[in-house]
Structure formats: structure tokens, C-alpha cells
Amino acid sequence: MSSASNRRRFLAKAAVASGFGASLVQRGFSWEPPTASATKGPFYPVPEIAKQKYYDADLTRLDPQSPVADGEQIIVRGVVVDMDEKPLDQVIVEVWQSCASGRYNHPQDKNDRPADPNFQYWARILTGADGAFSFRTIQPGKYPGRTPHIHYRLVAPTRPELVTQMYFESQSEYNKKDGIYMELKPEQRKAVTVGFESKPIGSPSTDAAGQNEKLPTGYFRIVLGPKNDAKATQPM
């Protein structure tokens, strides 16, 4: 557990010990703020991801026998927790993004960059009891007006939907010029900006021969707001 997390717990316990805790809890005192929502954007897949032919956790190819998509491969690992840091089971995590050239697989994407027929463009993953999820993809390409990003939509039992976007620490020059990114508060930006470092892929690789393979791996922690506070996580 991080020292920040320990400090939050200490403060919360101190508040309870002082008799101040009950009112804080009643007022929805947050130990870890919910991940900021962001626009769904115009390119959410059509039809929706659950109705697509391919939506497994490996976006780098359509199925294990298919050719591999262009671009630098990366692994995103993550966890979905509530504001008390409790892992959330059975959360649907949907992701969608551009291919290496910066093109979405969407009829409304009119930019003239070439689409990659081998890229899967989206995935739909379910968290386990530990709240964890992971997927293999490629570094999304830049497209006009935006810094590289991956879109997320989270659907949890009895919680409001969260739509958000994940950014790359390595793209800080472009991040600083991105209006959607910069409208977040600094601490919200930090929470959705992920650093990547080379690590053994382990699962969820679909490549049995690649067990010793290393790929840039990032870790995205997603915090869902309370059950009764629809405003906390509504998409903008």
C-alpha cells in the first residue's frame, strides 16, 4: 500500500476516533477520489462492442491466427476499485482507440489516414475478484486535435457508468496541448496519465512461444464513485 494511501487511512481513523467520522461518512467523505470522467467522443464502436465479432483482450490481432497489426505493442494492466480502495469484481471494462496511423474503425472518422485491417480497435474485459484487468494493444496513433489516448467505458453492477480516457506519460508535449486533457485538474490528470516500462508479458499473452517476451507495460488504477452518486461519474 502506498504511503499516500496509508495517510488517508490514518486520517480517516483519526476522524472516527475523534467522533468526527460518522458525519464525514454520511457526507460521502472520499478516501480516494473517483477517476475523472471524459467525453465518450464520436467514435464509440458501431455496433456496440458486445455485438462485434472480435473483442478479446488482445487488440494486436483479430484472432490468434490472424496477421499482427502495425505499431508498437504495449500491455495495459489495471485495477478497478471503489473509493475505499476495495477491488470491484465483475466490472465490464470496454476500451477503444485508434490504430497506429491515428484512424478509428468508425464510419464517422473521415480522416484520410489508412485504416489497419489487422487491428482489433476495441476490447471488452471483465474484472476478476481482485478487480484486475489487462489487455495487449498498440500505442495509439495521434490524430488531428488530440494527444494519443485510449477510451474507457466501465459498467459495474449497481454503480453509475464511468466513461474516461487514459493518457501516456511519454506524450507529455502533446498532452499539454490537448484541450480535453488540460481541462482536468492537475491531480485528475495525474491519475489518468500512465507511465510504461519494459516488463515480461506473462498472461494475458495469447502467444505461447512468447513467454519470455518483454513489452512496455503500464498500470492504470480506476476508482469508481459511490453507488448513489450518479453525478460523480457521469460522462460529460
Binding site residues, Fe ion, CB under 5 A: 41
Q: Are 176 and 189 in contact (CB under 8 A)?
A: no
Shortest distance in whole angstroms from residue 12 CB to Fe ion: 37
- Smallest gap, in angstroms, from Cβ of residue 116 to Fe ion? 16
Maximum Cα interatomic distance, the chain, rounded to a whole number of Å: 62
Question: Would you call 41 helix, strand, or coil by DSSP?
Answer: coil
Would you give the distance in Å from CA 216 to the centre of its chain?
16
Residue 149 CB, shortest distance to Fe ion, in Å, is 6
Q: Nearest approach, Cβ of 194 to Fe ion (angstroms)?
A: 16
The CB-nearest residue to Fe ion is 41
Cα–Cα distance measured from residue 81 to residue 29, given in angstroms and rounded to the nearest whole number:
16
Burial class, 42, CB count within 10 angstroms (exposed 0-12 / middle 13-18 / buried 19+): exposed
Distance CA 104, CA 53 (A): 17
Which residue, 19 or 107, has its beta carbon nearer to Fe ion? 107
Q: How many CB atoms lie within 10 A of CB 126?
A: 11
Asked whether 148 and 217 are in contact (CB, 8 A), the reply is no
Smallest gap, in angstroms, from Cβ of residue 150 to Fe ion? Answer: 8
